[in-house]
Amino acid sequence: MGLRINDTAPDFTAETTHGTINFHEWIGDGWAVLFSHPKNFTPVCTTELGTMAGLEDEFRKRNAKIIGISVDPVEDHERWKDDIKKATGFTVQYPLIGDRDLKVAKLYDMLPADAGDSAAGRTPADNATVRSVYVIGPDKKIKLILTYPMTTGRNFDEILRAIDSIQLTAKHQVATPANWKQGDDVIITAAVSNEDAVQRFGSFETILPYLRKTKQPTA
């Protein structure tokens, strides 16, 4: 059985560009985004890590740390940073995990179970599933799982949008509709009666008996 939403994120100790970390201790009392990439010194991954470097302040505003991982050694991560800066204009300052023995990749179902025991001799096909995203809450529970194919670079603005929704809906009894973004109307959950909705939100619009919209709570 693979990892699922609301599972406790597996803890681990790993070598990173910031030294050895214990994952749960590193997360602390905030949020975390663990994202993997297939291989250093490859084109799509270069654009992705640079994009994340450019968005690091946006994640920080949401009390979310970011950490990258691949099966490449930490030394290669350090060498690659110059290329990322040259290609994207952004300097990678967040930690990158060097998972040479595939321990973390297997722990988080980022690789097939039969991928082997090290990065040595791996083919591109072995890397096919290594473009995953895990959003983890302060309770160390998994809140979001996304996996992309090798040829498709991720939209990290969508991950920020999802974090906004997850944090908002954890605080209020609301959900967010398709394509929602900060400031848009939200959906009142079925657990809230019409009377309670008036007390909580002041006013709301009934679209269908089971679909009620209101302004995004600000408090």
List the domain boundaries for the chain.
Answer: 13-154, 172-214
**69 neighbors 104 (Cβ within 8 angstroms):** yes
Fold of 13-154: Glutaredoxin (3.40.30)
Please report the pLDDT score of residue 112 as a whole number. 63
pLDDT, tens digit, 9 for 90 and up, residues 110-134 = 886 566 655 555 555 555 456 899 9
**Cα dihedral sign, 172-173-179-184:** negative
Task: Count Cα neighbours of 218 within 13 Å in the Cβ-side half-sphere.
Answer: 3
Q: Which residue has the tokens 């994207």?
A: 88
How confident is the prediction for the chain on average, in pLDDT? 92
What SS3 class is residue 35? strand
Confidence grade of residue 208 (pLDDT, cut at 50, 70, 90): very high
Q: Do domains 13-154 and 172-214 have the same CATH topology?
A: no
Q: Give the residue numbers marked as catalytic.
A: 45
124 within 8 A of 47, measured Cβ to Cβ: no
Helix, strand, coil shares of the chain, percent, nearest 5, are 35, 25, 45
172-214: CATH homologous superfamily?
Answer: Antioxidant, Horf6; Chain A, domain2 (3.30.1020.10)
- At 105, which amino acid appears? A
> pLDDT tens-digit profile of 68-120?
999 999 999 999 999 999 999 999 999 999 999 889 998 998 886 566 655 55
